[in-house]
Amino acid sequence: MAHVNIKGLHKHFGAVHVVKGIDLAIADGEFTVLVGPSGCGKSTLLRTIAGLEQANEGTIEIGGKVVNDMRPRDRDVAMVFQDYALYPHMTVAQNIGFGLRARNFPKPEIEASVKRAAKMLNIEQYLDRLPRQLSGGQRQRVAIGRAIVRNPQIFLFDEPLSNLDAQLRDEMRSEIKRLHQELGATMIYVTHDQIEAMTLADRIVLMNAGQIEQSGSPLDLYEKPKTRFVAGFLGSPKINFVKARLEPSGIVFADGQTLRLPAAESRRYGAHLGKPVVFAIRPQHIDRAADAKAAHIASTIDLVQPTGARTYVTFAIGQEPVMAELDAHDAGKPGDRIAIAFDLAHFILIEPDSGKVLGS
């Protein structure tokens, strides 16, 4: 296994600047997830690490060695793609062992490695089958097995679960997480799915327009976002954003209602008094007020979406839609007046023009 160190990395496709000066250090054995919307540069960054794309500027080090001029096969990395890329005429065992045969490994060693990988991935019973006789999840396990037997310095995953249905994605996420724990390998994983990022990563690298917006542990990014983009990208259901003004009386919304802040919070944001802000809070930090007289905000329920034990309730604050995650038996129905309480230990304020979280 090995650490990865990327400095000043740029990648252009003609006039399009796709990766813009990335600096990133990945520790030995770390599971790093590159996440972001389509077109943010995450797959290009991964392919550049693998050597499938050539960097225009900057350096890539793997295990302390600069690999910019190395061919992909010489970088000692194994990549798992979205489309499996299995040989249809070969059995599962032949597909898994293909890379070892190409490197002229002894047959007994190949067989032992294939059996070990198949056991880890619970596909021992399929070793004699052809890919067309497997489900999508089983095919992806074969592709991962082919990477495992190579015993590379780094495993690279390029949206490997995108072609699977929801249930299989859940199963494969667990398998990949377990695999990382067993191997202790350095893994870099690309996805646009924030749920995958949160569940798999030791560290999330959230990319936006070719740059790193923020990196850190999943909980750090979720609880301490530095920008509106980060706050809005992570979390399901999504965080609520409401335009407001910060006044001495508290946060004043467009409909004139005021959310009074604790004294400590008022002092924290004192430099921004009289200025427009964006008030942001997650649905799970909103509840019905136990006492209507003590409610911070009042509104009317517009939409109710049951999900089982919890129900998503939408209403308006300051003429903008806001969602709360409530107990199913306490949700109410459209048209009901609702008294709303906020958990003020979990809100953030955002500067509207820059998109930066105040006080972060």
The CATH number linked to 276 is 2.40.50.140
- Residues 171 and 304 occupy one common structural domain: no
| pLDDT value of position 295 | 52
Distance, CA of 167 to CA of 187 (rounded, Å): 23
Q: Specify if 92 maps to a domain.
A: yes
pLDDT in tens, 10-68: 999 999 999 999 999 999 999 999 999 999 999 999 999 999 999 999 999 999 999 99
CA distances 88 to 134, 164, 318, Å, are: 11, 19, 58
Q: Specify if 154 maps to a domain.
A: yes
- Check which CATH number belongs to the domain holding 197 and give it: 3.40.50.300
- Residues 192 and 306 occupy one common structural domain: no
Dihedral sign of CA atoms 288, 290, 294, 299 in order: positive
- Residues 300 and 158 occupy one common structural domain: no
Q: Specify if 302 maps to a domain.
A: yes
- Residues 247 and 337 occupy one common structural domain: yes
Mean pLDDT on 188-201:
94
If pLDDT is split at 50, 70 and 90, which confidence band does 162 have?
confident
Cα dihedral 228→348→353→360 (10° resolution): -80
3-state secondary structure of 180: helix
pTM: 0.91
Q: Specify if 245 maps to a domain.
A: yes
Q: Specify if 235 maps to a domain.
A: no
Mean pLDDT on 181-197:
93
Q: Specify if 234 maps to a domain.
A: no
- Residues 285 and 209 occupy one common structural domain: no
Domain boundary among 170, 202, 225: 225
- Tell whether the model's pLDDT for residue 266 goes beyond 80: no
> Which candidate, 116, 108, 200, 190, places its Cα nearest to that of 150?
116
- Residues 197 and 82 occupy one common structural domain: yes
If pLDDT is split at 50, 70 and 90, which confidence band does 75 have?
very high
> Which candidate, 58, 48, 75, 69, places its Cα nearest to that of 23?
58
Domain boundary among 190, 225, 260: 225
Dihedrals phi, psi of 251, to nearest 5 degrees: -90, 115
Dihedrals phi, psi of 255, to nearest 5 degrees: -85, 5
| pLDDT value of position 321 | 95
| pLDDT value of position 67 | 96
- Residues 182 and 210 occupy one common structural domain: yes
- Residues 168 and 294 occupy one common structural domain: no
Mean pLDDT on 178-198:
93
Q: Specify if 306 maps to a domain.
A: yes
pLDDT in tens, 222-238: 999 999 999 999 998 99
Instruction: Give the residue with greater pLDDT, 150 vs 217.
Output: 217
Task: Please state, for a pLDDT cut of 70, what percent of the chain lies above it.
Answer: 98
pLDDT in tens, 311-345: 999 999 988 999 999 988 888 899 999 999 999 88
- Residues 156 and 252 occupy one common structural domain: no
Segment (H or E) for 78:
strand 77-80
Distance, CA of 312 to CA of 56 (rounded, Å): 47
Domain boundary among 177, 200, 225: 225
Q: Are strands 186-191 and 154-158 parallel, antiparallel or unpaired?
A: parallel
Q: Residues with Cβ < 8 Å from 91, sequence gap 6 or more?
A: 127, 128, 129, 130
pLDDT, mean over the chain: 92
Segment (H or E) for 218:
helix 218-223
If pLDDT is split at 50, 70 and 90, which confidence band does 172 have?
confident
Tally the domains of the chain: 2
- Residues 169 and 267 occupy one common structural domain: no
- Residues 36 and 141 occupy one common structural domain: yes
Domain that holds residue 266: 240-350
Q: Specify if 143 maps to a domain.
A: yes
